[in-house]
Amino acid sequence: MIIAIDGPAAAGKGTLSRRIAEAYGFHHLDTGLTYRATARALLDAGLPLDDEGIAAKIAGTVELAGLDRDILSAHEIGEAASKIAVMPSVRRALVDAQRAFSIREPGTVLDGRDIGTVVCPQAPVKLYVTASPEVRAKRRFDEIVGKGRAADFEAIFEDVKRRDERDMGRADSPLKPAEDAHLLDTSEMSIEAAFRAAKDLIDAALNKA
Ligand code: DC
């Protein structure tokens, strides 16, 4: 059983995916972390972010077991990740690792940008989780302020829009809903309501399997 969850940055898919994985006892992979880990390794080693050959080689060494969102959450790492994510050979290396993960028993939840369209097009449940750019920027703003740090809403809003353009506009595996994805707009929905809606869809798919 594979549950594919896609959507733009800060739409709430991470929290939702973790909750779903926990509820069903499935393994969870946040595929954004694989792009972030590659970007971080390049930054740490002082390697360029615009050399596809080097970036692909590093992508091939990423260990899924060691991915940690806290360590990889820095803004610069997200920006760098979104830049190397346009490179086809980086994507190939990471998608291979993601597909190997997706077949683990008893089931998996993968979240990212291209899970339903490219990584696991055969997934029986596909969700496309979204929210307006304003709502997503506000959530990120609240999260930063909640941690006691200063935040600039306008800068975050611009950042969300720039990230969307890059993720949706790239030639290889752009962010878009799979044709058979269920759309879940969380702009005016609590995480609890989104979880219940997702659970109904998954239960229906499990009953059919
Ligand atoms: O979800 P995130 O912010 O951790 O993702 C970081 C970047 O990685 C994002 O801008 C685009 C890229 N990404 C991708 O291209 N494909 C995925 N399946 C997941 C993330």
pLDDT digits (tens, 9 = 90+) for 113-141: 999 999 999 999 999 999 999 999 999 99
What's the 113 CA to ligand 1 centre distance in angstroms?
Answer: 6
Question: Domain residues for 52?
Answer: 31-105
Question: Same domain, yes or no, for 112 and 199?
Answer: yes
Question: Does some domain include residue 209?
Answer: no
Q: What is the pLDDT of residue 206?
A: 84
Q: What is the pLDDT of residue 208?
A: 78
42 contacts 5 by C-beta, under 8 angstroms:
no
Reported as a single tens digit per residue, the pLDDT across 101-120 is 999 999 999 999 999 999 99
Domain count, the chain: 2
- pTM, two decimals, is 0.94
Question: Does some domain include residue 208?
Answer: no
Pocket of ligand 1 (CB under 6 A): 9, 31-32, 35-36, 78, 81-82, 85, 112-114, 163, 167
Which residue numbers in the chain have pLDDT < 50? Answer: none
Question: Same domain, yes or no, for 118 and 158?
Answer: yes
What's the 84 CA to ligand 1 centre distance in angstroms?
Answer: 10
Question: Same domain, yes or no, for 117 and 84?
Answer: no
Q: What is the pLDDT of residue 23?
A: 97
Question: Same domain, yes or no, for 48 and 85?
Answer: yes
What's the 168 CA to ligand 1 centre distance in angstroms?
Answer: 11
Residue nearest to atom 18 of ligand 1 (CA): 112
